[in-house]
Amino acid sequence: MEDRNFPAAEIVLLDTSVPVGTLAEAAGEPTFIKAMDRESFDGARFVFFAGSAEEARDNWKLAHDAGATIIDLTGALDEAARAAPWIPELDTLLAPPETKGGKSQGSGIFSSPAPATLIACTIAAALKKLSPARLALLFFPPVSERGQLGVEELEKQTADLLLLRPITQAIFDAQVAFNLLAGYGEASRPSLAETRDAIAKGIAGYLEGRITVPAVQLIQAPVFYGYAFAGYAEFAAPCDPAKIDAALIAAGIHLSPAGEPKPTNTSVAGEAKIQLARAERDANVSGGMWLWGAADHLQLGTINAVRIAEELLAPKV
């Protein structure tokens, strides 16, 4: 919000897991963490739920009753409050979803989709005019998608394996360090399949009826931060890679300059846009094209959430 000069007179930080009175910072100014209760939302124009899903489910009605517009980043309100998903960046490429207007907008509850959903919808929208016969995306989510506990488990597993000690598996119920996982252990919830299905549902819900919905798969990578992904688009006839690159740039995606390294999950840290390498032809399929990219998943989701608020504040033409 500070970077985008969002017109906020005051930013208040609320939390249930951090002690009330903890010193923090908002918009470059010192502030203190406050309790999350009914009075906390009085006078708020926008309320962003960016913590846990439980916090969002337990408190959204309080914010709604106080008259605030809610923008959810947790995914918890998609069903609990029928939040309207919105990706403002795509409004010029796709007809805005019905949930942007009418009753859903009047309800004042919006959802900033999950990072993988944002990436998939953006790439699908970018390639719309080129009419790919099929589009598939393989995501490599970082352990930080499971919160601080996921980060700590990968860190501890890595150290334990190097020291030949038994590993902790409380979060993933599997060895994630030095490994690629197509599924977690049985005790891990949500399972990787459940996470994939939730992402696929979010993509279909946003694109269905307006554009072909891509196939999606997830592989858990042993990385702490950054969402890497591979994409495959197949066209009825050979397609000029330069046309694909131009379409992706027009959708707001940043392409690596020719001759420079391809993006990685670490190189995208702090970047606001999806980062892609130049499109490459498949060696065997004449109309097949491969994409490789990465994104800072925290930046991507939060900037989209702030853009929703900016669009709602913009004068109606």
How many structural domains does the chain have?
2
Q: Give yes or no: residues 170 and 191 share one domain.
A: yes
Instruction: State which residues form the domain around 142.
Output: 117-298
Longest dimension (CA), the chain: 65
Residue 95 within a domain: yes
pLDDT at site 18:
83
**Structural domain contains residue 194:** yes
On whether the CB atoms of residues 47 and 73 are closer than 8 A, the answer is no
Segment 179-201 mean pLDDT: 96
Contact between residue 294 and residue 228 where contact means Cβ atoms under 8 Å apart: yes
Residues 121 and 244 in one domain: yes
| Other residues' Cβ atoms within 10 Å of the Cβ of residue 145 | 17
CATH code, 50 = 3.40.50.720
Residue 223 lies in a domain: yes
Give yes or no: residues 255 and 275 share one domain: yes
Residue 257 lies in a domain: yes
The C-alpha angle with vertex 276 and arms to 214 and 71, in degrees rounded to 5, equals 65
Residue recorded with tokens 């800072």: 296
Same domain as 140, residue 73:
no
Per residue in 201-254, pLDDT (tens digit) is 999 999 987 888 999 999 999 999 999 999 999 999 999 999 999 999 999 999
* Model confidence band, residue 96 (pLDDT cutoffs 50, 70, 90): low
Are 169 and 219 in the same domain? yes
Q: How far is CA 59 from CA 14, 117, 144, 250, in A?
A: 11, 25, 24, 38
Q: Specify whether 181 is located in the same domain as 96.
A: no
- Out of 89, 111, 133, a domain closes at 111
Tokens of 237: 């006839």
Signed CA dihedral, 194, 198, 200, 205: sign only: positive
